[in-house]
């Protein structure tokens, strides 16, 4: 898979996706589906290879390492919802073979797997927009009337949302500015009801946790790539007559980043192994906290050792740094997951 992604010129794919040209990204998506990336999120009865969390984590680590754009985690979460709530639809099989790209808006919150507002109360409350990757989160006075956001809703079908105890189709509006331009956000409004009842609540919880798990895996891969790029840079960038990687302060920074990433990755795999057990949600939260903080800290260190060039749009590092910041907050911020961990221990 690493070879496939290395040959795909992913930085160019990211820039095209951010600019509104999904063609290269859709071609890459089909290649990934052909390699079985999404089949391991779909049960065999629906045309997949079975829900295999360890394989998902391995694949999404590589997706993160190469910065692959698109609603990858959202498609995995949608596969759970559709398999549980619409098993006779063609969507799960389409997700497995790459002909269907799905997105979910918003990812169910951590306090409750569904919106606290009933379906007839108007627009469901979103995760705060910072968690969705936008620039400014709503405050408590505006959150209830701020629409939820769907990632890459212009290329996804179906676009889903969970409202109360209902799974609904969602109708996207116009694209909004995002912290990461390759994470294209669309406000959505509720559409047709696809399923209703207590089973929606249970399925939404499963979708939330599996989506969070693969997001954590993306973060570990992303952090690893940031570290690799930084190590390569400090070996060649010279200052005061020698490579800057020979300076102890730089070496310590990179070593600290490596330690954090090495601590995070086993937690992600541990959470994958806990799938189907009562501890799964707690293990996922622990993994998301560690992966988020490790990747974000590595991104900051990468920017420090590169200097001003790290900010420039033309330099590929900027694509990874922006993604690290957005994914840190996506699928629940570290603060939210720490709160869930504390709640599980009380």
303 contacts: CB under 8 Å, gap ≥ 6: 310, 311, 317, 321
Higher pLDDT, 91 or 114: 91
Residue 129 pLDDT class (50, 70, 90 cuts):
very low
Nearest to 77 by CA among 187, 160, 155: 160
Residue 315 pLDDT class (50, 70, 90 cuts):
very high
- Helix boundaries (H) for 237-316: 248-273, 280-306
How open is the CA angle 271-274-279, to the nearest 5 degrees?
95
- What radius of gyration, in Å, describes the C-alpha atoms of the chain? 20
In order of 55, 112, 124, the CA distances from 143 in angstroms are: 37, 16, 10
Please write the tens of the pLDDT for every residue from 1-51. Answer: 888 898 899 999 999 999 999 999 999 999 999 999 999 999 999 889 999
Q: Which domains does the chain carry?
A: 206-345 (1.20.140.10)
Higher pLDDT, 264 or 130: 264
56 contacts: CB under 8 Å, gap ≥ 6: 40, 41, 76, 210, 213, 214, 217, 272
Cβ proximity of 57 and 21 under 8 Å? no
Whole-number pLDDT of residue 272: 98
Whole-number pLDDT of residue 237: 83
Nearest to 98 by CA among 78, 121, 118, 75: 75
Please write the tens of the pLDDT for every residue from 196-254. Answer: 999 999 999 999 999 999 999 999 999 999 999 999 998 988 788 888 777 888 999 99
E strand residue ranges, the chain: 103-104, 149-151, 159-163, 166-172, 185-196, 238-239, 242-243
Cβ proximity of 96 and 33 under 8 Å? yes
Contacts of 272-281 with C-beta under 8 Å, sequence gap 24+, read 272/53, 272/54, 272/56, 272/57, 272/213, 273/53, 273/54, 275/51, 275/53, 275/210, 275/213, 280/209, 281/205, 281/209, 281/340, 281/344
Exposure string over 6-26, b if 16+ CB within 10 A, otherwise e = eebebbebbbbbbeeebebbb
- Does residue 132 carry a pLDDT above 60? no
Higher pLDDT, 191 or 129: 191
Q: What percent of the chain has pLDDT over 70?
A: 88
The DSSP bridge partners found for residue 324 are none
- Does residue 137 carry a pLDDT above 80? no
Taking residue 325's Cβ as centre, other Cβ atoms within 10 Å add up to 18
Please write the tens of the pLDDT for every residue from 57-93. Answer: 999 999 999 999 999 999 999 999 999 999 889 999 9
Residue 267 pLDDT class (50, 70, 90 cuts):
very high
Retrieve residue 197's tokens: 């009842």
Retrieve residue 304's tokens: 């420090």
């Amino acid at each position: 898979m690493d070879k496939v992604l290395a040959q795909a010129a992913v930085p160019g794919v990211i820039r095209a996706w951010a600019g509104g040209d999904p063609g290269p990204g859709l071609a890459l998506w089909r290649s990934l589906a052909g390699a079985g990336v999404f089949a391991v999120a779909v049960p065999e009865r629906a045309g997949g290879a079975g829900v295999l969390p360890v394989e998902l984590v391995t694949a999404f680590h590589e997706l993160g390492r190469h910065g692959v754009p698109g609603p990858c985690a959202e498609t995995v979460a949608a596969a759970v919802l559709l398999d549980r709530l619409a098993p006779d639809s063609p969507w799960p099989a389409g997700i497995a073979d790459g002909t269907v790209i799905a997105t979910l808006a918003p990812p169910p919150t951590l306090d409750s797997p569904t919106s606290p507002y009933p379906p007839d109360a108007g627009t469901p409350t979103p995760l705060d927009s910072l968690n969705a990757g936008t620039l400014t989160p709503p405050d408590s006075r505006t959150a209830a009337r701020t629409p939820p956001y769907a990632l890459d809703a212009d290329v996804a079908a179906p676009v889903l949302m969970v409202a109360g105890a209902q799974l609904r189709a969602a109708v996207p509006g116009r694209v909004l500015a995002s912290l990461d331009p390759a994470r294209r956000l669309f406000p959505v409004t509720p559409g047709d009801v696809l399923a209703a009842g207590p089973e929606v609540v249970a399925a939404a919880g499963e979708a939330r946790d599996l989506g969070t798990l693969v997001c954590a895996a993306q973060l570990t891969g992303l952090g690893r790539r940031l570290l690799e790029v930084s190590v390569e840079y400090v070996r060649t960038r010279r200052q005061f007559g020698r490579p800057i990687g020979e300076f102890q302060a730089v070496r310590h920074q990179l070593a600290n980043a490596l330690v954090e990433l090495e601590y995070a990755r086993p937690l992600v795999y541990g959470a994958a192994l806990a799938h189907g057990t009562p501890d799964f949600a707690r293990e996922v939260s622990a993994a998301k906290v560690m992966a988020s903080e490790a990747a974000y800290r590595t991104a900051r260190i990468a920017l420090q050792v590169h200097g001003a060039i790290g900010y420039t749009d033309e330099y590929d590092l900027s694509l990874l740094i922006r993604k690290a910041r957005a994914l840190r907050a996506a699928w629940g911020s570290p603060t939210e997951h720490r709160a869930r961990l504390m709640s599980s221990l009380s």
